[in-house]
Amino acid sequence: MRHPLERISIEVVVIAVRGLQKTSLVDFPGEVCTTLFWGGCNLRCPWCHNADLVLRPWALPRLEIQEILGFLTERRSWSQAVCLTGGEPALDPELPAFVLKLKERGFKVKLDTNGTRPEVLSQLIDQDLLDYIAMDVKAPPDKYGMLAGVKVDLKAIRESIDIIRASEVAYEFRTTVVPGLLLEEDLLAIGRWLGGAKRYVLQQFRPAGSLLDENYRGINPYPEEFLHRAAARLRPICGEVICR
């Protein structure tokens, strides 16, 4: 049965940077980075904790590209890496040009993506513009629409997975483990779908922030033992499996 959020229509909005975190020690493995948040997304994951970015990006101040570049340049002695997240940055037609500007200024760049725009991934990788990719894999194929909140082009997801695995860019695939939506067997099915990925991250669901579906605020995360047990079963399938 489909999740009721699948029936929500998605408005077309201006995709732009709508938030900035000056310093992060967790968004870019091994780097101190600045995190930029794009407003707008083509999915409606009910547990998403960035409801304002997804549903109401126009209500957040828009940050102009030159303003961002100036800020990053001033702080380059402190942070030489940038994480691009959202929302979904790959929806922005100006993203490749912006990433090129970052690389020209000597920044390392990490992209967080939902994998629905494989053509953007190919362009960025082919132009050697990315240093790290984190792709969210929401569910096994038969549950993808329910977890994503909308009908998803699974061919595009599969293509993005293949593009990332075949590249020489450091990467991780990651799944937010939501109680009631994903079972241990679902995680094993995702692992088999990823087909020997170098790194797979199981992310603990946290009922915090501004959730798309506030009903998820009352859901308790799985016990840590659940994630670690699933990780142990996944390690023969994938390379490195991390609980986060």
- Give 108-156 pLDDT, tens digit per residue: 999 999 999 999 999 999 999 999 999 999 999 999 999 999 999 999 9
Q: How confident is the model at residue 207 (pLDDT cuts 50, 70, 90)?
A: confident
Residue 124 vs residue 9, higher pLDDT: 124
Q: How does pLDDT run across 51-64, given as a tens digit for each residue?
A: 999 999 989 999 99
Angle, CA 213 vertex, CA 212 and CA 215 arms, to 5°: 150
Mean per-residue pLDDT over the chain, rounded: 92
Structural domain for 219, as ranges: 4-243
Mean pLDDT of 16-43: 95
41 near 91, Cβ under 8 Å? yes
38 near 89, Cβ under 8 Å? yes
The phi and psi torsions of 196 (rounded to 5 degrees) equal 80, 30
The phi and psi torsions of 141 (rounded to 5 degrees) equal -50, -40
Neighbours of 189 (CB within 10 A): 17
How many domains, in total, are found in the chain? 1
The phi and psi torsions of 242 (rounded to 5 degrees) equal -120, 140
pTM of the predicted structure, to 2 decimals: 0.92
Q: How does pLDDT run across 161-188, given as a tens digit for each residue?
A: 999 999 999 999 999 999 999 999 999 9
pLDDT at 14: 57
Answer whether residue 92 shows pLDDT above 80: yes
- Paired with 200 in beta bridges are 173, 241
pLDDT at 195: 86
87 near 210, Cβ under 8 Å? no
Look at the block and give the residue holding tokens 């199981």.
Answer: 202
CATH assignment at residue 204: 3.20.20.70
